[in-house]
């Protein structure tokens, strides 16, 4: 269902979001990617919307120092230093008894639970319905339009090539229905889906 190794572990969670600590590496999940963590008998799914690379005084110090930054130091900080990253995902669905429900889970994932990246098949399955649009659009402290567009594009990419356009058009229509009275917002999302 997911990546071979977990992306990180849950640091804190709530009914609507969960944040996990990860290391800055190429496998860092992208904005809009679907991640999953267990919460008791359920798997909780969330869309990554905030990647917080924490303030690193060490890097700041090295970079701000007078004199030239040697290549070795640059490469060291780039490749070897494991910058702790906090990633927050917006909870949109959960799986229980092999069925996926696009609504808030009964319980959020506990601290230190491993968080996994979801593969294409899972992403396609979890994001098949359109119910989660509202969850994303109504989320506070979240760049909803960008997130929804990114998640939809990733979900479309999980489909067969001949189905992708149809998936996006259908999603666009659903959005047109939901956001009928907020056209600037609708337009913002649709443009991001179109390009």
Partner 1 sequence: MDDFAHPDAYLASLRAEADHADIGARLGRVVAGSLSSGLEVRLDHDRRLEDLAVGRYVVMKAGGRLFFGMITDIALDSTHPAFEKTPPDLDNDFLRQVYLGTSTFGRLHVSPLLELDEHNRIPRPVKTIPGHYTPVTTATPEEVAYVFGTEGLRRDADGRTVHYFHIGRPLEMEDVKITLSLERLVARSSAVFGKSGTGKTFLSRLLLAGIIQSDVAVNLIFDMHNEYGWAGSSEGATRTVKGLKQLFPGRVTIFTLDPESSRRRQSHPDATVTIPADRIEPEDLEMLAGVLDLSEAQVGAMYVMRRRLGPGWLGNFMNDDWVDAYGGNDTGTGSSGLRALAEDLDLHQSTLAALRRKLDRYWRYEFITTRSDEDSVSRILEYLQAGRSVVLEFGRYGNDLGAYLLVANFLTRRIHQRYVTMKERAFGAAGEEPRPLVVTIEEAHKFLDPQIARHTIFGTIARELRKYNVTLLIVDQRPSGIDPEVMSQVGTRITLALDNEDDIRAVFMGISGGQALREVLARLDSKEQALILGHAVPMPVVVQTRPYDTEFYRQMGYADEEELEARFQQNQALMRGRQRNRLT
Partner 2 sequence: MPPKICSKTLALMLELRRLLDDIEAMSREIITHRQDLEARIADGLTALQRLAVVDDALLDKIDRAAAEDPSWRGAFPLGPRLDERHRPRIEPVDATLIGVDGSQIYPDRHGPVLYYLINTGAIVLRQGSGQAPLTQTRPTLFFREDALYNEDQEIVDHRIVNAARELAEIREMALQAVAERERLGGDLDRLLIVLGDGPLLMWLGEKDSPDQEVQRRVTAYLAELATMQRVGAVPVGYVDRPRSANVLRMLHVADLDLPAVVTANLRATRYRRLTDRTLFERWLGPNERSGLFSSTARINRVDFRQAGQEIAFFYLNVAREPGPEAARIVRVDVPMWVAGQPDLLDRVHLAIYRDCEGMDYPYVLARAHELAVVGSREREELEQMLTVALLRRGVVAAPSAKALAKRLL
Q: x/- site string to partner 1, residues 146 to 175, per CB under 8 A? A: -----------------x-xxxxxxxxxxx
Q: Which residue has the tokens 């889906």?
A: 193
Cβ proximity to partner 2, 59 vs 130, nearer residue: 59
Closest to 191 (Cα-Cα) out of 153, 158, 160, 139: 153
Which one of 66-74, 79-87, 144-152, 176-184 is the stretch in contact with partner 1 (CB under 8 A)?
A: 176-184
Residue 194 binds partner 1, judged by CB under 8 A: yes
CB atoms within 10 A of CB 65: 10
Cβ proximity to partner 1, 141 vs 173, nearer residue: 173
Which one of partner 2, partner 1, none interacts with residue 176, CB within 5 to 8 A by kind? partner 1
Q: Which two tokens stand for residue 85?
A: 């990253």
Q: Which residues bind partner 2 (CB under 8 A)?
A: 9, 11, 21, 57-58, 61-62, 64-67, 69-73, 75-76, 78-81, 112
């Amino acid at each position: 269902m997911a990546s071979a190794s977990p992306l990180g572990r849950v640091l804190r969670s709530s009914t609507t979001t969960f944040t996990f600590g990860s290391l800055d590496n190429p496998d860092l999940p992208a904005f809009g990617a679907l991640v999953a963590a267990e919460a008791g008998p359920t798997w909780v799914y969330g869309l990554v919307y905030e990647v917080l690379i924490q303030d690193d005084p060490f890097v700041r110090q090295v970079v701000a120092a007078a004199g030239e930054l040697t290549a070795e130091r640059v490469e060291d900080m780039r490749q070897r230093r494991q910058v702790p990253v906090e990633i927050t995902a917006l909870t949109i669905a959960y799986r229980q008894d092999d069925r996926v429900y696009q609504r808030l889970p009964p319980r959020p994932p506990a601290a230190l639970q491993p968080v996994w990246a979801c593969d294409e098949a899972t992403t396609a399955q979890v994001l098949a319905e359109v119910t989660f649009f509202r969850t994303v659009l109504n989320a506070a402290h979240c760049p909803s339009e960008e997130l929804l567009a990114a998640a939809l594009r990733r979900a479309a990419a999980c489909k067969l090539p001949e189905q992708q356009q149809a998936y996006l058009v259908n999603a666009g229509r659903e959005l047109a229905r939901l956001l009928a009275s907020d056209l600037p917002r609708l337009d913002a999302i649709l443009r991001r889906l179109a390009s």
